[in-house]
Amino acid sequence: MKGALKVQNLSRSFKLRQRGLLFSATKRLKAVDGISFNVAPGEMLGIVGESGCGKSTTARLLLGHIPASSGEIRFGGERVSARVDANWRRMRRHMQMVYQDPLAALDPRIPVGYQIEEPLIVHRPDLSAADRKTLVADVMRQIGLLAHHGSRYPHEMSGGQRQRVIIARALVLDPELLVFDEPVSALDVSVQAQVLNLLEDIRARIGFTGVFVSHDLKVIRQIAERVAVMYLGRIVEIGNVEDIFANPAHPYTRALVSAVPVPGRSRRSRIVLNGDPPSAVNVPSGCPFHTRCPQMRATCRSIRPNLVETGGRAVACHLVNDPSPSGIEAI
């Protein structure tokens, strides 16, 4: 299973039925709209964007939790599918998710020690009960939980401890791909830093491949080597984290980076975008960002920009890929 994660033209739409007084209509919500990216073995890719941009849907697609409408996902050369069969179960042992809300992911009626052990019962029937207990004790120690924590119930633990339980549950199978769906967004700053440092230490020891979903660019900068910026289901910029922080190319990325506080630069210029993101049910024609872009061109209204390699990164923007100043409009 060791290998790269490769995503090609991945899309996912949902049907929405809108009922009126006399008639009902069915529309499609494009949650993920034709995204492509690669993650090298041992690399961590961050995915960032506003709420509703498709980050969490992408995370669920990567592990086969939901089927794709189109496109392909491969890990280690094998295709990832949402079809539940023997091959899906075999791959699930190597691909795990760390969830955003531990209370929702954990069963309140069962001690957390058993919940950490449960994946071993499902995926490692070759292990004896004693071997499973040993592995659970080892992974709990690695993530900073004490032996007596195993007998506790989720409501008896702090938020940081519950998040460590979720991480332990994912790690106990020694996975090769870990997908993190905003795992620190509900934690306070000090606990958040502890969990991020823990993940960095574990990745240094184990070397798993990772995808880290977050709305917080500060978190992405600490944990990931590369970052993909999403807007309305599409990737608008992808590249090295430090390069994008130092010189963001897409106007949307510039606005996100400008909102990140920098120590010693209290007067940093902030780019404020007008309005809210459009509905994913009625995506604007042309560039989806043109309704909020401060540097919109006439072509942005009608021509959808492709993700084009430029300067070591890929950007989907007419302004960047064709820097001629003609036709720029202020909005």
In a domain, 250, yes or no: no
Dihedral in degrees, nearest 10, Cα atoms 86, 88, 94, 96: -140
Q: Does the structure show a pLDDT above 50 at 331?
A: no
Q: Around 91, how many Cα atoms within 13 Å sit in the side-chain half-sphere?
A: 22
Measured distance CA(325)–CA(246) in Å, rounded: 23
In a domain, 66, yes or no: no
Residue with structure tokens 């994912």? 170
- Among candidates 278, 280, 239, 276, which has minimal Cα distance to 257? 239
In a domain, 72, yes or no: no
The first and second tokens of residue 249, run together, are 């190319």
In a domain, 154, yes or no: yes
Report the amino acid identity of residue 232.
Answer: L
Tens of pLDDT along 266-311? 556 788 788 788 888 888 889 999 999 988 888 899 999 999 988 8
Whole-model pTM over 0.85: yes
Domain count, the chain: 1
Are 300 and 231 in contact by the 8 Å Cβ rule? The answer is: no
Are 168 and 140 in contact by the 8 Å Cβ rule? The answer is: yes
What is the pLDDT, as a whole number, of residue 168? 93
What is the pLDDT, as a whole number, of residue 96? 92
Calculate mean pLDDT across residues 312-331: 71
The first and second tokens of residue 57, run together, are 């849907």
Mean pLDDT across the chain, nearest whole number?
87
- Would you call 92 helix, strand, or coil by DSSP? helix
Q: Does the structure show a pLDDT above 90 at 317?
A: yes
Q: Does the structure show a pLDDT above 60 at 264?
A: no
In a domain, 184, yes or no: no
- Would you call 35 helix, strand, or coil by DSSP? strand
How many helices (H) does the chain have, and how many strands (E)?
11, 12
More confident site: 330 or 102: 102
What is the pLDDT, as a whole number, of residue 81? 82
In a domain, 216, yes or no: no
Measured distance CA(329)–CA(322) in Å, rounded: 15
Calculate mean pLDDT across residues 13-37: 81
In a domain, 119, yes or no: yes
Eight-state DSSP code of residue 297: B
Helix, strand, coil shares of the chain as percentages rounded to 5? 35, 25, 40
Measured distance CA(98)–CA(171) in Å, rounded: 9
Report the amino acid identity of residue 47.
Answer: I
In a domain, 329, yes or no: no
Least confident stretch, 61-70, 73-82, 165-174: 73-82
Tens of pLDDT along 94-123? 899 998 888 888 999 999 999 999 999 999
What is the pLDDT, as a whole number, of residue 144? 86
Tens of pLDDT along 69-79? 999 999 988 88
Calculate mean pLDDT across residues 160-165: 90
Tens of pLDDT along 183-227? 888 778 888 888 888 889 888 888 899 999 998 898 999 999 999
Domain hosting residue 140, numbered range: 109-173
Strand partners for 252: none
